[in-house]
Each structure stands twice: as C-alpha cells, then as structure tokens.
Structure 1
Amino acid sequence: MPAPQNFKNYTRRDPLFHFILAPLLLLNFAFSIYITVHNWPSYQHTHLWQIVMSVVFLLIAERARSYALKNQDRIIRLEERLRLQALLPAADRSHIDELTVPQLIALRFASDAELPDLARRALTKNMDPKAIKEAIVNWRPDHQRL
C-alpha cells in the first residue's frame, strides 16, 4: 500500500514514461545526431531523415502524455464540481463555476469536511493551487493521477 499522501509527496512519476521511454527517445535523438556527424557526407539524406524522425518520436510521446494529462484534468474538474455541488451550502453553489481549473485540481486533495471552507477561501482570496494544497489539513489521496 502506498504511503499516505501529503503536500510533500503527492507528485508521481510514470516509471515507463519517465525512466524508460523518454530517456530512450532522447538517446535515439542523440545517437541520430552522432551517426550523422560521424558519417557525413555519405547517406546524408538518410541520416538527416533519421534526425527528423527522432524529433517526431519525441513530439509524439510528449503529445500523448499531454493529452492524457489534459483528459485527467477535465475528469477531475467534473468530479470536483459534482463533489462541490453535493458538499457546499445552497448559497455557495452558484460560485462553483468561478473556481479555475487549477484550483479545482488542487481542491481534489481536500477532505469532504474541509472542502467547503477551503473552496470559499480559494474564491475569496484567489488562492493559487500551491497555497490550496498547503492549506489542506486532512489530505484526501489521489493515487490514480499520473
């Protein structure tokens, strides 16, 4: 079972992406440049094409990761709006749409008991995500986020 989450340890790394895929793609790019420089001018078009394709692979990996994170952000936004709708007093529900997406994403870590007060403070004080996370007393873990 993972250690309890808090402000100091909530970030996660995807081992397959961060420690295998990204380094291998960077090595591929560096190796493509190395091969091109050391074998110039023979097969120059092929070697240059290999560099271009190495860049394309890096861009594909970055885009795929950013799309997945953007999708997670949209799901978290929806989940937190529904959660706030259920937990906030009727007078405060009309202000849910005033919270920014980064604020909603930060509020997902707040326990149900402290969420209404923290959401109100986030709106009135225009708190940034880091300040929201630091203000959380009872951390609600999110082990699904990448």
Structure 2
Amino acid sequence: MKEQSYAKHTKYQPLQHFVWLPLSVMLLLGTLTYFIYSMMKSRFMIENLLLLGIVVLAIIPGMLARMYAIRLQDRLIRTEEQLRYFMLTNKRLDSRITMQQLIALRFAQDDQFVELAERTIAENLSPATIKREVQTWRADHFRV
C-alpha cells in the first residue's frame, strides 16, 4: 500500500468521484435545463416534472450510501480512538475533543497520540493543524 502523509492522505473512489458524481451533475443540469426551457416555451407537461423528480430520486441513494458509510466509519473511529487513549493512559478521552479532531488524531502513532490529544484539548487545535503536527504518520487505507 502507498505510504500516507499529510500531503497525500486523501482518498478518491474512482467510480464515486469520477463517474457517478460527474454523471449525476450532468444529468441533473441537463434535466433542469430542459425543464426550464420547456417552461419558457409555455410547454409545461407533467412528464417534464416527473422526469426531474426521477432524476433527483435516482441521485439521492448514491448520496445517502456515501453519507451513511462515512457516518459509520466516524463512529468506529471514535470508538477505536477512545479505546486507544484509554489503553495508553488508563483514563477516558476528554469529551471536548470534536469528531473532526478525533478523526485527525487517528493518524498519530501511539508515542505521539496522547501528547497530541492533550494539546488538542488545551489549545483547541484544528484538524488540519493536528495532521500537520503528526511526525510519524499512521496510515488509514480503509477509509471510504
């Protein structure tokens, strides 16, 4: 697997990002253009409205699938990082750490994780700052 770092840790799903999303945008824009053109020509037909509705309904499941997968992974990351903090310190992780901060903290190796988590609480570090502070990157190749 490729080595990750702050500069190159984002992940693209080719089918999602380069096929489904652009095609969905083009289909929606094309349908909206056709619908508006028909309305301007005073040729409103219920079929045009139904076509627009079908296109929107076809796009929604793809968006929901992505949102649900990311939400589930966020919950798993929260549980894993809380357990990791507890195993390293024998204390519970401070509840002031936000989900986005916790997601950023997951990239820190154990030897830096506790110190960085405590700095995050004390200084309210942004997720981007947390990621930049990680010296030894702990890769996550399973993020959707």
Q: TM-score, normalised by structure 2?
A: 0.87
For 1:30, the equivalent position in structure 2 comes to 29
In the alignment, the residues of structure 2 paired with residue 95 and residue 78 of structure 1 have an alpha-carbon distance, to the nearest angstrom, of 10
Aligned mate of 2:117, from 101, 116, 119: 119
Distance 1:116 1:33 in 2: 51
Counterpart residue type for residue 73 of structure 1: D
CA drift at 1:13: 1.2
Aligned residue number for residue 129 of structure 1: 127
How many aligned residue pairs are there?
Answer: 142
* Structure 1 segments of 4+ aligned residues over 6 angstroms from their partners: none
Shift, 1:87, TM fit? 1.2
Mapped pair 1:97 → 2:95: yes
- Match for 2:13: what amino acid? D
Deviations 1:88-130 (A, max 9, x none): 2x4xx14433322111111100011111111111111111111
Deviation per residue, 1:65-93 (Å, 9 max, x gap) = 111111110010001111111112x4xx1
Deviation at 1:34, TM superposition (A): 4.2
Q: What does residue 84 of structure 2 align with? A: 83
For each residue in 1:2-35, what CA deviation from the matched residue of structure 2 results, as whole angstroms up to 9, or x when unmatched? 2x11111111111111111111212222332344
SS in 2 for 1:96: coil
**Could you tell me which amino acid in structure 1 is paired with residue 4 of structure 2?**
Q
TM-score, length-scaled by structure 1? 0.86
Instruction: Find the aligned partners of 1:41 and 1:87 in 2 and give their Cα distance.
Output: 69
Whether the 8 Å CA contact 1:84–1:96 is kept in 2: the answer is no
Runs of at least 5 residues in structure 2 that lack an aligned partner in the other structure: none
Give the letter for the 2:7 counterpart.
K
Q: Match for residue 60 of structure 2?
A: 59
Change (3 A) 1:140 1:115: same
> Cα 1:77–1:94, aligned 2, differ >3 Å: closer, same or farther?
closer
Change (3 A) 1:54 1:114: same
The answer for the alignment partner of 2:138 in structure 1 is: 140
The range that moved more, 33-42 or 11-20, is 33-42
Q: Partners of 1:98 and 1:47 in 2: how far apart?
A: 50
Instruction: Measure the CA separation in 2 of the matches of 1:121 and 1:51.
Output: 50
Q: CA RMSD in A?
A: 2.0
